[in-house]
Every structure is written in C-alpha cells, then in structure tokens.
Structure 1
C-alpha cells in the first residue's frame, strides 16, 4: 500500500492510498480543488536565504499572484499589478515607468522608497529608490513570469537587502521534461501591436532551458502623435540539476520606454482620460549642457524607461547531515533615463495674458491665433540621464536540527548611479492635446499673468555605495503547531557622492564631495500557531532601518551621529494575522502598526524638506470563495496615519499621511463554464478608493473614485485562446495625485481613459 500525493500550482494538494499487487499497474484519478489565494504555494520571499515555506505556514503577510490573475488584470505596467496587493497604494497613472508606490501608510513625496523588486529572490538594485528612479521601472511583465510574491513588513527587514516595507519577487518559469511554449498577439483600440512568447524544455539529462520575451509598439491611450510606447525584451534561463543540488542562471535584456504622464490642468476643457500636452511640436528640444555653451538636441518621445540587463545566478547545495548552502547573485546594469514634459504652475487664460502684456494677439509657432477663452501653460523639458549598476550576493548556510531550522547568512552589495540632469527649461504652450509653443511669448510672460515662474537646474553627479551585512535566524517548532521565528541583522555601509550643479546644466565647479560610513542593527521576532489544519494565527515585531540614498546626501536630508557616521531612518512595526484555508473559502487578514522616520522633499518642489516622524495603524484583508465555476476574490485596506513630529515643519504635526487613501477595496468575480468543447471565462473587477490628502500640509483632498474592468476569454481545443479585456469601462477620471511640485496649482494626474484590448494565444 502506497500513499500518493499530487499537487499543481493554483490547486490544493490531494492524496490517496493505493494498493498495488506484484506486477500490477493501478491508475488513480484525482480531482483537485482550486486554491484561489494560493495558500499552499511555496513562497521564498521573507525566508532566510530563500529556503521557502508554504504560504499558509508563514508568520508574515504575503500575497501570491498567479499568471492567470495577471492576465485578467492586464496591467499596463509592473506598478499597476500591485493594485491587487492589500496595504499598497500604487500610482501607476504615470505610464510604463516612473510610478509612485506606497506601503502601509509609510509616507513619501514620490517614487517608491519602501519597495524592493526581486527576480528569483535577488534584489535588482542595491537601494530602493533614487530621484527619478524606482525599481518597478526596470522590470517588465511578460509570459516568462511564473509567479509573483508581494511581502509587506515581516522578516524582510533582516534578510537580503533589509527591506522594511514591501518586497515584490518575480519567479521566472523554468524548463521541464516536456517541451512547451506559448505564442501571443495583442492589439487594442489605441493601435497597440504586441507579440509575446516563450519556449521551455529539456536540453539533456538534468539540464533545462526557458527562453521568452516580447516586442511592442503603440501611440498610447494618451496619443502623442507618434508611437510613444515601444519595447522589447528577451529572457533566457538555464537550470542544471545535480544529485545534491541545483544551479539556475538567467539573463534578461530589456529596451522599453513610454511617455511619462504628468499632472495636467484639470479645468481647461481637455479630456482627462486621453489628454497629453506632448506632441510633434514639443517632441524635440535643444538644450545647453555645459558652461561652454555646448548644446544637444533631446528626443522626448522616449519618456521614462529602461535599457539594460539583469542577470542572476541561484545555487543550492545539500551538504548532508541536514546542512544546506544557498547563494543568490544578481547583477544589473543599464540606463534608466527620463525625458519629461513637466507642467509648471497654473494655466492662464489668453485674455489675461493679453491684458498683462498689453498685446492684441497671441499665436502659436505654427500660426494658429488663440481666442480669449483659450488656455496656455508653462511646461518644462526635463532630462535625467541615469547610468546605474548594481551587484549583490546573498550567501547562506542552513541547518535543520531537531525542532530548529537555523540559518546564518552574509549579504554584500555594491551599487552606483552616474547622473546628468537639466531641469526647468520652461516654454509657454497652448493647453490643448499636443499643443504648440507660443510665438513671441516667454515663460516669464505667462508667469506674470498668473502661471508658474520659470527656473533652471542642472547637475552632474556620481554616487557609489557598498554594503556588508551578516544575519542569523531560527525557526523553532516548540510544538508541532506552535513555532517561534526570530532573526537579527547587522549592516555596515559606505556612501560616496560627488556633485556639480548649475543653472540648467553642470557649471564645471565641484559643489560637493562627501564620504560617509554607517552601521545599524535590525531584529524581528514572530510566533505562529496552527489552531487546526485550516486555521492559524501569527504575531510579529520588527525593528529595522533604512539608510539614506545619494539624492538625500545632495539635498542634505540626512543626519550624523556624534562620531560623524551617517544615521539610518528607524522603523518599528507590529503585526498580527489570521489565516483560514478551507476547500471553498480562504481568508488572510493582517493588522499592523508602524512608526517611521522619513524626510519629505521633492525635486522642483516649492516646500522645504523636513524630517517627519509618523505613525500608521491599519488592517489588510484578502479573501476568496469558489463554487463550481464561480470564483470571487476580494482585497481591502483600512488605515489611519498621522504625523507625530516635525521639528522643521511643526505646523504639520497632527496632519494625516498624504497621497494614500484611508480605505480601498477591490472585488473581482469570474465565472468559468463549458460550451461544447470550449471553455469560456467571464471576469470583472471593481476597485474603489477613498480620498487622499495632496501633501503633508493637508491643503486639500483628492476625491475618491471607482474603476470598473471586465473581460472574457475563450479557450478552444488545440491550445488556441482568445481574449477581450475592457479597462476603465466607465471612463472614470479618478485622480491619483495632485501636483507634488506645486500643491497649490490646479493640476492633477488622472487614471487612463477607457480602452479595449484583444488577444489571441496559442499554447503548445
């Protein structure tokens, strides 16, 4: 008699006892129940050295996203995928890159200072964010992604790169014994052309491959009069299995960019779902790049994006007697550039501009004469050239001993960023879609009539950092149902930064040359109790840190201890969770309380930078129910955050956390049924979010909004599938942000307007 256990990603395990006589062959059929929240999936994020643990056994909050859910969401960017993760507010309305991502009320002026992106468990850059850079900008979703894990808080504060906020890990598909693949074509009502594909299989005994990628082009939903969204990517991964271990190596080459969508004038009659000021008239700009007067013509069709390579090697070796060694190496190099057409201040009526200047006619360079009721606005051509490089390695040694699972590890990282900026460069523009530049009018003229005042800033900088950390952890099963998880980390860091600034370009004189050392300590402890096979609870405390990055040195938003060492911002988090997983219903709820020290500031902002101490408490909810062909998923976040201390801005003490809603929820039903020999899946999603404050000053609130999506897929015999997806079907103009550079300006950034995609897919 034998016990056979079967498992398949997205379904619950099943087992059966089978009795087999001598020379007999027995067939055992299994009917697997869908595991909608993937509670039985093995997650590696948040585990020491990436040893892995089943999600239902985890003492931390983690969301797992299967490829089928990604297809139903149809996210236009990596940041948009995070809309399904509780506790996260992702402002993905800026395009394919350059998102603002916030976690559990941890405040920020923008980018994603509390978010790490990883591939196969390895962080893709040494620090979470820089000015004009956050890590989702250098990762593109495609058919090579097998699964996604998003961990908030928890033990990541101790392991790997010591992320106190959220780590999003993308596991790539691996080859297997069978050759399989996919070809996919996608188009849309905004003229998208995209081809995806992957192929995987066996090379020889123990050696497997996976190769895949995509090519795409489109003018975008916000049509710029040219194809502003272009990209291509190829990923190759090899996996070698040994008798006592495995080694996995991949490389991912990307060249992908898209228009950087920025806040726009809200009350000038433009269609907020499709408007963009950028067009052929403003696509190119000649700008001065140095003190000698040299110039360069920049093409702003490239927006924000990534042209580079991410390579990784993961190895596992069973040393025997319960000892296991693991190593995870990641190397990243490339250009994460920004070409933005950025609004400056309020729009101005043409009649007011005429009155201010004492003129009778305002016309564009193309010859159009504007009416008194037309609007004009100052816009600036911003250029940020950012050459980045990062290498990190996480080496760990694990020992299973009695009821203990002990791990010690060594983490090393080196990262750099070489920057050239020219910001400001304002010109007056007719405030219509793809508006033309005004003739004979200056940006100062528009400023005199009530618009934003022109300014210029440029720099050349070089930042270099090195980090070394040791960590240790133990998971102690005190009883079969009660586990204690503890971990600690000590890190040393070196930061070097050199800066040359000037009036729109680096002026050739050194403004700053800094060198800092620092060190800090992190600790986490949790208990996990399995009440029964379906129900479990956990509680966790973490005390962690986040060191300043290069741009904080430039801005002076850092502090030194009495020995002249750079100090990290401190984080403390308390978490408690409930996990329930039954055949038809799953539920995951996590309550949290965090205390965070952060510097608030933004490039080009009118407000001064200030150190703030904040506190946020809240709850994250995930639930799923399935019955026959019907599946309903739900996600929600409730939180309340407050500024507790602000020495340089005491007037904001007591104000609410800004740019994040107090509540948000998403519900996504789907129904699958059979028609003849074909399978049809109808799905939809409703996402609703509450109001958000514009800035730390709490001047005004952005209204909440609701977004509705829906789609259908048809799978026919032979591996062919068709898909139709409608995004923002009600054509909501929901605002994700105001104007972070000037909160008093009547500008804001709405979500993209209604769009429809069609796809055809062939699996083999």
Structure 2
C-alpha cells in the first residue's frame, strides 16, 4: 500500500477535536472548494470557445503573449524572433529586453541529461545538475533561493507547467521533460515580460514546440551511453487535412545510472499538438497534450575527503560515489498507528500523469485581435529523497566512534552484524543516513485571455494589450522520514546493532534489519493557491525607438491544511527495542488550517534606441513582486497564520546590442533589489528529522553581463557569455550578523565559452561552463572553489537524398572529468563545519560518453 493510501486510510478512521480533522471532514471541505473552483475554471474556459471558432477576414495573424512561431524550422533567422513575454513577435535585436534564444541544435549539444545542462549556458543562471536528470537547482543572479525554480516559471509553449511554486518543494521539471519535439528555448527578463502569463521579473523559461506543416517529416534518434544508458526518441509532423497539422514526439529511456546505485532510471513521455489555421490567415487554434510515466534517480551530497574534498575511500578501498542502494524495503518497514509502513524509496523520483491545453490566436477587422490559452494538468508524483546524513553526526564513523558519539550507548558492549549474516570487521566505517518518502500529487488549471489592438499615432505604431491570467493549483506534501544504519561503501549493506549492558547483561536492539529510527519525521500537508491577475501594456515602435510600458495587478489566495503530529508506541511485543524503534512520530488526526491572501501590483517599462542599423541601446526597469511560498507560512500559538506579504523586487538594466552579421555582441549593467523575501530552507531539526526554516531577508545585487557570437572564419564561430555580480544580504531577521554577507550558492563569476564548427557535413564543438567561487551557506563560513565543466560534441552527416539525412555523433559530458563540489550539505546549512576528516558535498557528475545516431526524414 502506498504512503498516500496508508495515510488516507488512517485519517478516515481518526477524528479529532478543535480544528477540522479526519479524512472525511477534510475531503468534504476539499470537494466543496474544488467544486467552486471547477465552476470558476469552467466559466473562464468557456470564454475561449467562441473566440476560438470565430473566423473573419484580416491582413495578418497576431502573435500573442508567449505565442509560438510558425513551422518547425530552427533556422537562425526564426530562432532570433522572440515571442515570449510580449504581445508582438520581435527580433531579439530590436526588443528592450535581455533575451537568450537556443535553437534545437544547441539544445541537442548541451543537454547531456536534464534542464540544468541547458540552463547553465544562459547568462545570469546557475543551475546545479549534480542530482541527475530532474530537480535542477536554478539560481538567478542576486536572488536568494534554496534551489528548484523559485523565481523562474518553467513553461512549454507559453503554458506554465504549474501555475504556483511553493505548494511543496518539488521542482517543475519533475512533471515535464524535453524531447526532439522542442524547436527552441527562449529566456527573457525585464521590460514588460514580467506582466503576462504567470509573470516573473526574474525571467521566463519557455520551451517552444515544433508544429506541423504541409510537408511530412520527422526525426528519429537512438542514444547509447556508458553505464548502460539507452534512449530512443521520435518526432514526426505533417498535415492531416486542409489547414490542419499535427506534431507528435516522445521518448523511452533506460539508464543504470551515471553513478552505480542499483536503482534504475526508466520510463517514457508522449507529447503532441494539433493545429488548425484559418484559411484567411487570421490565426489558428492548437490543442496540446502530454503524458508522462517516468522514474529517475536523484543524487544527493555524500561524505568526501575533508581536506581535498575529493571522493573518499570506503571500507573496500574504492572511492564512494554514492551511498544509495536498492534496499529490501520490507526490511526497513515499521509499525505505525495505521499499520505497517513500507517505503517506496527504490522508485526514485516517479511521475505519472499529463496535461491537456488549448491555445488560439485570432485577428479581426480594424486591427483588433484576441488570443489565449487554457490548460489542465494532473500528476501522481513521488519524490524519493536520499539524504546526506542522519541529522545528528552526518559523517562516517568507526564502530567505536559510533558508540562514543551517542551518550545512551557509552559503556555498552556493541555487536555489529551485517543484515543477511556476518560480523562487521572492527576497522570498518559506518554511515547512518536517512531517506524520505514524499508523496506530492498535484493538479493545476491555468487560463489566459488577451485583447489586442493595433493603431498608429503619427510615426509610432502601438500594440495595446488588455489581458488576464488565472491559476489554480493544488498539491499534496506527505513525507515520512526513515533513518537506517549501513556500511560506508558504494551500494552499502545494512547493519544491525545490539548492545549489552556489561553489568546486568541486558540487551537493547539499536538497529534491526538496518532500521535505526522508525518514523523519524512525518508531514501531511495540502496547499492550494488561486491567482487572479489583470494587466495592460502598450508596446510602441517608431522608426528609431521602441518603448514598452505596462502594469499588472494580481490577487493571490491560499488554503493551508497541515496535520499535527504526536509520538506513538507502536511495538509493545518485540523485546529489548530501543525507543527509536518502538516509538513513531505520526499524524494525530488534528489539522491546523488557515487561509492567506494578498494583492500586489507591478509596473514595467523598456526603451530601445536604434543608433545605427547595427547598434541599439536599451534600458528597462520594473517594480514587481513574488508571492511567498505557501509552505513558508507559519502559525502562531492560537493556530492563526502569520502575515502574508508579497516580496517586492525592483530592478533596472541598461545596455547595448551590436549586430553586423558575422559579429553579434551585447553588454549590460544590472541592479536588483529584493525586499521581504521569505527564504525557505529544508534543514535538519537537530533530532534526526527535518524542518522547513523560514528566514525573512532582503538582498541587493549589481553587475555586468556580456554576450558574444562571432564568426571567426567560414563555418567556425566563437560564442560565449559572462556574468559578473556582487550580491549580498541587506536584511536577515533571524541572524542580523549575516547582513552584508554574500548570498549562498551565488558565484561572483559565471561564464560560458565555446568553439563551434559546421560545414553542413562535419560538425564539432567544444565548450566550457565556468562557475566561480561561492559559499555553501549565508554565514559565508565555507567556500567552494570555482570549477569548469568542459563538453564535447561532434558528428558527421550522410546525405541519403531528398530531406533524408543521417548524423552519427558523439557527445562527451564533463570531458576532463572535473570532480568539483557543486554544493555542501543544504540540510546542515550554517551548521556544516569544515576541517574534519570528512566534508559532505555533491560533486559534479562524472564524465559520460554518449553515441547518437539521428535520422532526419
């Protein structure tokens, strides 16, 4: 029985006093709320239907906010057209925004595993991919974050994967994957880009899909990599009727793992879209769909050598790359008030579900237009989180030190044995660790509708936009933490421990079947968020100037339900059990509930001056906001939620863009100020469990950013970018001594640089991503040294006639096998120490060679 079902069954049996409690009561509230939300959502969705079927003559089709470009081309010209966060499609060169666009060729070169590999190539973004394919920790320049996508909505075709972050801590990329059906990526920030859709001053990450054309075509790819990775991809598109086109893509992948853990990565995703274009050229309507059934490994920090911070040897003398293993979950099961709990940790990060969406654009006579989109998604999601220590000692221990470090065991005679038989050798190292079963089902509805009007006043062309956005997200956060004892090795064996009192001869079972602490932590939360936004913008273009201005008002409301906990005695029959095996922290059936809400406004402007045909100057500024993560809301002694105020961000950027064909350059200065940030950190509670610590902070940052794309000789170009920043805390409520400290995990220097050759048959590229020195925590006590990850990609194309081509290629991630540490132990946070025998950190994933055969037809 799954964790969710176990908890659900228990709550149906239990009722409490005071706050609403019991699953039936809880479900009653939810059904009522969901019904009202469904009614509102349906009314909004029906607003799209008549607009989607209107067809009138017009001159040109519109390009609505976050709209996609026509056709599946990835040419340089089309890739330069930016349609994210604007009402009209523009060339990147002519927009007063900071813009990065990556075509499908660049995406193929850079994506060794997941989104982190891609996002790391974008200036201002630091993305930690040491955890594997999913749950990338995305950091945007000068903004304090615990990771994931806290400041940057992840969108596909202008549609957010989830409308609200912070209902739990799962990253957006656990719900959605890239495949060969992606045409390009756009990342924009500044100007009015933060007003449309879900909105974000920090930037919008938008992957844009291919759409079908009059010609049938596609691409198939097989990928084989070291350590038993096989992946197959297919993307096809074409016509299915007059003015109606389809595009389908998907993958299946099996992977034993970059790091050997006995855990498997396997699964598939299917995506597609169906587009109908009005015969008069006045617009189109597109239906999107996605289905995913996938599970992946996730790697967390491990004990490293305390001096060199390189991988440390285990008991067998081999370097320890991971402390995970496919344990027999029945051995680590334990009794609860609801019956036997059995972990699903071996399933890794598992997602099953999908989304369906509709998007349309329609232009009318008189230069009026309407466009919009609506989406519903539902996912069953589990996140098996392997931790980086037991929350008490956190580093490997000898048998003797394991006893000496625990006061209750001092003076006892220990007996360490392996589960399955055999005595643990006296010189062995042990590592007590935890894992957390996290059930995080989520569903989400979003809708956006825009009315546009084009007109000309004098020599200035205006595009006015009046629009609205609605989002309704609901997510579970059910966590059970288990502590176990194992040897310090790759794919370790579990260890039993029994101690004997030398005076009385009484025995106590400390670890049974490797289980050290049954139910070390328990969380049963449900958070729901509803967002209403209205915005306006005027995007003006003259012969030499571009000027954008607009504003947004948004109301946010949230419902919170959190079960309280108690300690239960669940095993009174097994003799000699330690308290940690006999007692379990579990839900008591009483719920703390609350509602929060707030309303905020944003205003943004951008100006661009065309000095010459090759040189533009721009400036943009904004006053925006982020809503606090609902999981950060605290309650007072009377179980009332504390204040819920928006986090205000102000920023300005000015720079220049130069483009004369073979040379493209840009440079900019930026300044960012964030106030009232509720920083949420998932940290140890000091007793072997976890807590979500909330710090109220303010920050400021400023810096420089440069990009270059230069054709050196025919078929060979250099491309790169660099970000220099200074970011520090200006307020820190829990620890004022941190004011003036640098932001953790935010380097002062980031750069990418590469050489790219392509003569139509042979292509080769070598590029590096540099991450500068950065601190592990806000106290700036531990610095991580800078590192470079060098990647190589090369291939040769065989022309089979017509549109048919085969490319045989090789990709090498981390060519020089860099072993740098990307993060310390976030769960230890400011309590992590340096200078000991071990340092807990997460290294860069090791070198991996991948061979690919790609067939275009």
With normalisation by structure 2, the TM-score equals 0.79
Which whole-Å CA distance do the structure 2 matches of 1:224 and 1:387 have between them?
26
Q: Structure 1: any 5+ residue segments left out of the alignment?
A: 1-31
- Which residue of the partner structure matches residue 281 of structure 1? 327
Distance 1:107 1:118 in 2: 22
Q: CA deviation at 1:621?
A: 2.2
Contact 1:124 1:331 in 2 (8 A): no
**Are the aligned partners of 1:96 and 1:257 in contact in 2 as well (CA < 8 Å)?**
no
Per-residue CA shift, 1:181-208, capped at 9, x if unaligned? 1111111111111110011101111000
Shift of 1:40: 6.6
Change (3 A) 1:69 1:195: same
Aligned length: 712
Cα deviations by residue, 1:661-708 (Å, 9 ceiling, x for unpaired): 11021112122347xxxx111211122221111111112111111221
Matched with 1:76 is: 113
* C-alpha distance in structure 1 between counterparts of 2:261 and 2:816, whole Å: 23
Partner of 1:545: 625
Alignment equivalent of 1:247, drawn from 281, 285, 295: 285
* 1:639-654 alignment, distance < 5 Å: 639-654=725-740
Alignment correspondent of 1:469: 533
Map of 1:599 onto structure 2: 678
CA contact (8 A) 2:496 2:510 kept: no
The one-character-per-residue Cα deviations of 1:130-179 (angstroms, maximum 9, x if unpaired) are: 43312122221110101111123442322111212221101111000100
- Report if the CA contact (8 A) 2:84-2:206 is conserved: yes
**2:196 aligned with 1:159:** yes
8 A Cα contact 2:327 2:346, kept in partner: no
Mapped partners of 1:40, 1:322: distance in 2: 26
1:29 maps to: none
Please state how far the C-alpha of 1:553 moved relative to its aligned partner. Answer: 2.0
For residue 632 of structure 2, give the secondary structure of its aligned residue in structure 1. helix
Task: Tell me if 1:480 matches 2:537.
Answer: no
Distance 1:698 1:123 in 2: 35
Q: What is the RMSD computed on CA atoms of the aligned residues? A: 2.7
**Given the alignment of the two structures, is residue 658 of structure 1 paired with residue 739 of structure 2, yes or no?**
no
Q: Are 2:167 and 2:527, in contact at CA under 8 Å, matched by a contact in 1?
A: no
1:752 maps to 845
- 2:593 aligns with 513
> Contact conserved, 1:46 with 1:154, CA < 8 A, in 2?
no
2:265–2:296 contact (8 Å) kept in structure 1: yes
Change (3 A) 1:710 1:373: farther
1:566 aligns with 2:644: yes
Q: Do the aligned partners of 1:112 and 1:129 also contact (CA within 8 Å) in 2?
A: no
2:607 maps to what in 1? 527
Cα deviations across residues 465-489 of structure 1 (Å, max 9, x unaligned)? 2111110000223x41112210101
What is the CA-CA distance between 1:623 and the residue it aligns to? 1.1
Q: 1:684 to 1:370 in 2, by over 3 A?
A: farther
Given the superposition, is the C-alpha separation of residues 73 and 576 from structure 1 closer, same or farther in structure 2, using an over 3 Å criterion? same
C-alpha distance in structure 2 between counterparts of 1:637 and 1:144, whole Å: 31
Distance 1:550-1:604 versus aligned 2 partners, 3 A rule: same
Q: Deviations along 1:553-587, whole A, 9 cap, x unmatched? A: 2578xxx99xx973111111111121111211111
- Aligned partner of 2:352 in structure 1 is 307
What residue number does 1:376 align with?
Answer: 430
The answer as to 2:432 corresponding to 1:346 is no
Q: Is the 8 A contact 1:523 1:543 kept in 2?
A: yes
Instruction: Pick closer, same or farther for the CA change 1:355–1:465 going to 2, 3 Å.
Output: closer
Whole-Å Cα distance in 2 between the matches of residues 274 and 481 of structure 1?
Answer: 61
Aligned-pair CA distance for 1:371: 4.2
Kindly indicate whether the alpha-carbon contact (under 8 Å) linking 1:577 and 1:591 is maintained by their aligned counterparts in 2: yes
Is the CA contact 1:194–1:215 (under 8 Å) kept in the aligned structure 2?
yes
Distance 1:123 1:594, change over 3 A: same
Which residue pairs with 1:733 in the alignment?
819
Q: Give distance in 2, aligned partners of 1:453 and 1:652.
A: 34
Counterpart CA distance in 2 for 1:286 and 1:740 is 25
Deviations along 1:85-134, one digit per CA (max 9) or x if unpaired, are 00001011111222211101201123221010111111121113443312
Larger mean Cα displacement after TM superposition, 599-608 or 627-636: 599-608
Listed as ranges, the matches of 1:571-586 within 5 Å are 571-586=649-664
Residues 1:213 and 2:258 aligned together: no
Match of 1:417 among 460, 475, 479: 475
Distance 1:330 1:33, change over 3 A: closer
Secondary structure class of the residue paired with 2:101: strand
SS, match of residue 327 in structure 2: helix
Structure 1 length as normaliser, TM-score? 0.88
Superposed, which structure 2 residues align to 1:259-274 within 5 Å? Answer: 259-267=297-305, 268-269=312-313
Partner Cα distance (1:591, 1:169) in 2: 24
Residue of structure 2 in register with 1:60 after alignment: 97
Q: Identify unmatched segments of 5+ residues in structure 2.
A: 1-72, 306-311, 500-507, 567-583, 686-690, 834-838
The residue aligned with 1:624 is: 709
Alpha carbons 2:497, 2:509 under 8 Å: kept: no
